[in-house]
Structure 1
């Protein structure tokens, strides 16, 4: 009798394990539908800048320096502001889709276009007054002058971010973003061809490179817009509506909270570079740090894919009203991203300074990278976790809370610790980076505590309340009353 009961228990446990693995596999498939296209799109967007820079480098060294300056400082600043504000859209779209409020998704998309277009227009003075801005920052007059020419060429790229960010989020919320992969792949091929044709073959110089860059950002946008408006999203897109102008204020507030959250994180690395520029032997220090950040940047692109997956899955499940599934999605995405982070941590820890030979022949720079390799490995490990937690926060609509967390952890802990270790204790760039890691670690711990201490049943109620309060009903067509 006892043996029969034990065998029954073993059978039940075995069935539960099978069901658990089936559930994990199902969740991973849902996650990959969002994460993989997002990762590919992030790589391709980064690739556009790399390709442009490579062809401009064959035109004139000053053009290359000016493009690198505008692309790294000005365009990245605008990118951060617009991406941050657009991330508020992810919350609304994901929760509306989960709650089956399909008609609201098109309205939310149009609201985001209105808000981001106004924001981009307000940022235009930065593009028109680039030379005096860069001169005030200590750049040479000739480089600042060419940067002023390039910045005006990049105005269409700034407006391209509006369509790019919002359409990607709109498609991701519905798990229809595989179209983005095809468009991104085609765009890279076209960009390489046009850059060669216009700069090398037809000798249009800088103008040819900039024309190709503009087209590279707008070609996928046109493709996404056609897909959305021509039947690819029949349930969620019903055409342009004046309802998009209704109740804009709460959407604007959420957009500003989201913008603050993302920008505080993106500007953190920029401040690290500025701090390093004032250290002894700054050229070697900056070169070594830029190599490490370049390597780390490629890994972060993977994490951003998982960030998108966490955001979509959490928002969808909260919109559906399933707290249990939201928690399960968080665990699966977080553990998957962390597992990849551990593998990369060991890989970069093993290679150490040898990676630098891919970027430089300088023995001093290689040695400096070798000294930073342990910090790079830990940075990559943390970067596999905290973007996912940020994605959870966006999916749940916690942008304002995380903005305060980022402000406290990065600017009240990370930067002061970095300054003290780098300058007072003379640890140079290592001290600055240790400070950065302190900030990242503090942010990760706080977000982990918030995530796992959260009452997800309450989050479901909050999400469904948000969906109800922000919903507007379309006007009935003639004859619908019958």
Structure 2
């Protein structure tokens, strides 16, 4: 919630500058999400799978640090094409036929944001490294310290009569904030005795296992990008309806992103939890955890949807004083509420699949649901005979979200053998481990693993045989 309040503060400040500034910011968020943030989150989600299961499955805790290093290498390599795209964004926007003034503002925004993208990606990697060890509060503490600084800077750098820089203050504020987030969580990781126990120092072994890492990371990137790209395509499509419609679209995306942080947080915590349980051999507890998180997400989603409908007028007035923008926001709030509930379930189910190491299955479900069903339907409703414009785009996306959530639920309930997932988890760790290690993993023997019980967190259980990597 604190994390997405960063975008909320920026949007509120920029909304007071004008519709074109808000529209350019929306496009900038879309581009950064499509080409930088979504792929980086995909790489980080592969770390979720490897780090969480390695922490409980191996006696050598430094394997967690090894998988963390692979994630860091992956995101650094990814920043090379990202830099090229960000530096040429104005030209790309003009090539797509975008308004010249909005394209110039967008290009300016991206150039200033570029120095902060890598620190943000490294923050996400470090956060997952800590969460895999059960250290959940680190990112919360960092954000609780950094967020007030960001809120203050939103006024000082954007709106202040004396210090304000206007529009360029927004990307500068984000860049400063991303650096503070990274430095804060890295300092926590270095100062925490528990976190240091999983850090064995930088090693060339992280390069030797990149193949196994990318085997999960690439489907994870496809999964994350498939949903994100379809979602962000709404902004690009909405831009052709005029500045007011695009501004309303930007506001709705920001509201949904902010409100969706509760189910999103549930998903982020469920991935390492399930990974830890599978690594420890607790198949039944992992299954129960997936059921509990699903019920909690439904309850939270329904409550949020109701609040969207009741206070839809207030939300529009918070973000903008333009009557056309406020009117469109009010019209979009009910469908946005329905979308939020369905997407919350979608996020949680995807997180469960990440914990299982089933990123490829998630890609097979999410990409077609959003890009082959939801997005085309939204385009038809927006531009077709019904001429629903932005509202039609959202209804189509909502349908795609429902289909994706139902398909993932079916896969988790009917296609998942939780006892077999324990075996898959341990085999995956052995295949991705270093060429020589004292780590000991466990594999199911011929006996029934359902009756196996942990021995005080040790890596050898009844019914299991020890295997050295």
With normalisation by structure 2, the TM-score equals: 0.82
1:344 aligns with 2:304: yes
Q: Which runs of 5+ in 1 are unaligned?
A: 1-42, 477-482
Q: CA 1:108/1:52 → structure 2, altered by over 3 Å: closer, same or farther?
A: same
1:392 maps to what in 2? 352
1:128 aligns with 2:87: yes
1:34 maps to what in 2? none
Distance 1:384 1:118 in 2: 31
**Contact 1:112/1:166 (CA < 8 Å) preserved in 2?**
yes
Distance 1:220 1:131 in 2: 28
1:97 aligns with 2:59: no
1:253 maps to what in 2? 215
1:23 maps to what in 2? none
**Contact 2:79/2:118 (CA < 8 Å) preserved in 1?**
yes
Distance 2:300 2:11 in 1: 30
Deviations 1:265-293 (A, max 9, x none): 011122233344456xx555445444433
Distance 1:341 1:146 in 2: 36
**Contact 2:49/2:356 (CA < 8 Å) preserved in 1?**
yes
Deviation at 1:121, TM superposition (A): 1.5
**Contact 1:228/1:237 (CA < 8 Å) preserved in 2?**
no
* Local SS of the residue matching 1:472: coil
Distance 2:165 2:238 in 1: 37
Distance 2:90 2:2 in 1: 29
1:315 maps to what in 2? 275
**Contact 2:127/2:138 (CA < 8 Å) preserved in 1?**
no
Distance 1:290 1:209 in 2: 15
Distance 1:468 1:226 in 2: 31
Distance 1:265 1:373 in 2: 20
Q: CA 1:269/1:207 → structure 2, altered by over 3 Å: closer, same or farther?
A: closer
Q: Which runs of 5+ in 2 are unaligned?
A: 439-469
1:45 maps to what in 2? 3
Deviation at 1:160, TM superposition (A): 0.9
Distance 1:422 1:214 in 2: 35
Q: CA 1:184/1:319 → structure 2, altered by over 3 Å: closer, same or farther?
A: same
- With 426-435 and 128-137 compared, the bigger mean Cα shift is at 426-435
Distance 1:277 1:63 in 2: 13
Matched length:
432
Higher helix share: 1
Deviation at 1:362, TM superposition (A): 5.7
1:455 aligns with 2:414: no
Q: CA 1:161/1:370 → structure 2, altered by over 3 Å: closer, same or farther?
A: closer
1:78 maps to what in 2? 36
- With 290-299 and 339-348 compared, the bigger mean Cα shift is at 290-299
**Contact 2:120/2:181 (CA < 8 Å) preserved in 1?**
no
- Which of residues 87, 98, 102 in structure 1 aligns to 2:45? 87
Distance 2:4 2:312 in 1: 24
Deviations 1:120-176 (A, max 9, x none): 112211122122112112334454345434423222211112211101111111221
Distance 1:188 1:364 in 2: 31
1:119 aligns with 2:78: yes
Q: CA 1:386/1:275 → structure 2, altered by over 3 Å: closer, same or farther?
A: same
1:297 maps to what in 2? 257
Q: CA 1:304/1:409 → structure 2, altered by over 3 Å: closer, same or farther?
A: same
Deviation at 1:231, TM superposition (A): 4.0
Q: Which has the larger radius of gyration?
A: 1
Q: CA 1:63/1:380 → structure 2, altered by over 3 Å: closer, same or farther?
A: closer
Distance 1:474 1:230 in 2: 29
1:137 maps to what in 2? 96
- With 292-301 and 166-175 compared, the bigger mean Cα shift is at 292-301
1:238 aligns with 2:197: no
**Contact 2:21/2:105 (CA < 8 Å) preserved in 1?**
yes
- Which of residues 115, 123, 138 in structure 2 aligns to 1:164? 123
Distance 1:242 1:367 in 2: 57
With normalisation by structure 1, the TM-score equals: 0.80
2:135 maps to what in 1? 176
**Contact 1:75/1:158 (CA < 8 Å) preserved in 2?**
no
Distance 1:274 1:288 in 2: 13
Distance 2:21 2:395 in 1: 35
Deviation at 1:413, TM superposition (A): 1.7
Deviation at 1:392, TM superposition (A): 0.3
**Contact 2:113/2:172 (CA < 8 Å) preserved in 1?**
no
* Local SS of the residue matching 1:385: helix
